[in-house]
Amino acid sequence: MPVDLGSAAHGGAGRGADRRRGGQRQGLESRRRHLRDTGRQAQVRPGDLDRMIGLLQRVSHASVAVDGLTIGAIDGGLMVLLCAERGDREKEADALLAKLLAYRVFADDAGKMNRSLSDIGGGLLLVPQFTLAADTQSGTRPSFTPAAAPEEGRRLFDYFAGQAASRHRQVATGRFGADMKVSLTNDGPVTFWLQVKPPAAKA
């Protein structure tokens, strides 16, 4: 039977990449479980867990309300749920923001995903959501130990929002620590989980 060597090689490379990604995820979950089981949150070093999390959703409309009042709303653009993990710092936030603004998830004239939020000048709604850091590997109750402490999570969210507003014209936000009601129309649907490794420090 003829064998397509190109397809076989491509499939092998794909399986290798899948194994590497699987190993990275398993390593992260192992570190999270160790942190949860030992309870040594204060001893976590920057980078021990992973990177700041952004859950991007391409929307035709999105809004967030607190106590019945809308505090942030956008039309076409991105709604992003943000979560800082223990060890995250400003450089993790900067790396995620740069990727987010340049990430090509909007259609060009040919209908292909080839335009970024910066390209289209769309709205950006940032909503804090610490539950994205949950460890869900065991039991039926999520553990939030991997999430940044509330004070640090608030500081990094405010930092991220401030940096976003300085680089993009249309930015709205939710309120850290509040009971928020979030509404959106996901356009597509199109949703991406983003975590970005900051550039290595120069020697």
Instruction: Give the catalytic positions in this structure.
Output: 129-131
How many angstroms separate the CA atoms of 10 and 74, rounded?
A: 42
How many angstroms separate the CA atoms of 153 and 131, rounded?
A: 12
Nearest Cα residue to 117 out of 158, 157, 170, 47:
170
How many angstroms separate the CA atoms of 113 and 192, rounded?
A: 13
Nearest Cα residue to 31 out of 117, 146, 175:
146
How many angstroms separate the CA atoms of 35 and 13, rounded?
A: 33
How many angstroms separate the CA atoms of 62 and 185, rounded?
A: 6
